[in-house]
Structure 1
Amino acid sequence: MLEEEYQPRRELPPHLRKAPAPEAPFSYELRDAVLADMPAVREIYNYYVANSTVTFDEDRKSLREWKSKFTYLQKLGMPFIVAEAPSGQLLGYALVSPWKQKRAYRFTVENSIYLGPAATGKGLGRVLLGELIDRSKAAGLKEMIAVIADQGAESSVALHEKFGFTEVGRMGRVGYKFERWLGTVMLQRSLK
């Protein structure tokens, strides 16, 4: 067909077009993590290990490591929550862990929030962080720290700031991943 013979396909006027099927609502339930969740938690985390700089880990975590971490956090009474879809798929998780091992730091925790790729951009990170703060307060914790990569995690910094975290420091060139140097932004929020 010659170019001058080509006619673009005509579209129906808007009032005659079939309405698109409504998108299924994004639904989930927040609950305490259980040991049986660790394979899914591992998969979510290892996706970020392999594909991003939001974690400085370069080696995937094993199921044994995740089970050990879960057991340790349970023993300490630290919040560890998951978001689960009605289908049973784990969409994301949030936890706090001790900021440092010295006893004087026992009321200060560092948070971690990771979402499965299908759950990003839907507000779930905000919900998880809010719930994590509430549960951390209820557990008697007093300070929460967020250590966030200084490149590629701007949305995480913005999210924490919306929840009252303030920047307390930066460290440049402390991590090296994917053939480039990375720094961190440190934010803190009182839970009192």
Structure 2
Amino acid sequence: MAVRISAPLIRAATAADAGALAAIYGHHVLHGLGTFEEVPPSPAEMEQRRLSVVAHGLPYLVAEDSGCVLGYAYAAPFRARAAYRYTVEDSIYVAPHVQRRGVGHALLSAVLEHCEAMGLRQVLAVIGDSENGGSIGLHRALGFEPAGVGKDVGFKQGRWVDIVWMQKTLNGGSGGVPDAPGLALSGH
């Protein structure tokens, strides 16, 4: 049984983290089914992706221990159309040597707190691989509920892969008109 990492530092990711983000994500791209990307992006591309998220005021966080980035998580706009301005999609990736040690829980908890403080109403998880028990269990532990399965929507590593949709309601969900303005989205 893995020993939990006691209270990793959770902080906003910076440009200096791009190499660590690319290394962690690159491992999952090459060896996992949690992402359907097949070619690991460069550190420069990871930095552009981070900047795109934070431009919306959304969280892009890293977990760090003794100066080492252990994982990262963020919330991104779900879709570009304005009607989706209260809904985000979370993403979380943890270095393989610290999986199932509490890093993901700490990261995703912090992302959810930030989203709730922004007045957002729904957080969606689109989890690659219906056999991805770690991610499904993490989301379930943080109050996400199953919302559906897309059967065989990706083909990676020589096999068809499902996606699992999970959803968490924040700030009363659809119970009333939102107080906050939501995300500034440009789509119609």
Fold shared by both chains (TM-score > 0.5): yes
**Whole-angstrom CA distance in 1 between matches of 2:52 and 2:167:** 23
The one-letter amino acid of 1:45's match is Y
Please tell me whether residue 74 in structure 1 is matched to residue 54 in structure 2: yes
Please tell me whether residue 35 in structure 1 is matched to residue 15 in structure 2: yes
Match of 2:37 among 47, 57, 81: 57
Residue number in structure 2 paired with 1:14 = none
Q: Please say which structure displays the higher CA radius of gyration.
A: 1
Q: Give the superposition deviation at 1:139.
A: 2.2
Aligned residues: 169
Q: Give the superposition deviation at 1:114.
A: 0.7
Q: Give the superposition deviation at 1:190.
A: 0.8
The one-letter amino acid of 1:47's match is H
Q: Is the 8 Å Cα contact of residues 54 and 152 (structure 1) preserved in structure 2?
A: no
Task: State TM-score, norm by structure 1.
Answer: 0.83
Residue number in structure 1 paired with 2:109 = 130
**Whole-angstrom CA distance in 2 between matches of 1:140 and 1:69:** 23
Residue number in structure 1 paired with 2:177 = none
Residue number in structure 1 paired with 2:74 = 95
**Whole-angstrom CA distance in 2 between matches of 1:79 and 1:139:** 10
Q: Give the superposition deviation at 1:26.
A: 4.7
**Whole-angstrom CA distance in 2 between matches of 1:114 and 1:173:** 22
**Whole-angstrom CA distance in 1 between matches of 2:101 and 2:59:** 23
Q: Give the superposition deviation at 1:112.
A: 0.6
**Whole-angstrom CA distance in 2 between matches of 1:74 and 1:132:** 12
Bigger shift: residues 182-191 or 146-155? 146-155
| Aligned-CA RMSD value | 1.7
Equivalences for 1:102-121 in 2 at 5 Å? 102-121=81-100
Match of 1:165 among 134, 144, 150: 144
Deviation beyond 3 Å, 4+ runs, structure 1: none
Q: Give the superposition deviation at 1:46.
A: 0.5
Please tell me whether residue 139 in structure 1 is matched to residue 125 in structure 2: no
Q: Deviations over 1:34-67 (max 9, x none)?
A: 1111111111001000011111111111222211
Percent identity (aligned): 35
**Whole-angstrom CA distance in 1 between matches of 2:110 and 2:51:** 21
Structure 1: give runs of 5+ residues left out of the alignment.
Answer: 1-22
Q: Deviations over 1:134-170 (max 9, x none)?
A: 0111122221000112344112112211211111111
Task: State TM-score, norm by structure 2.
Answer: 0.84
SS in 2 for 1:76: coil
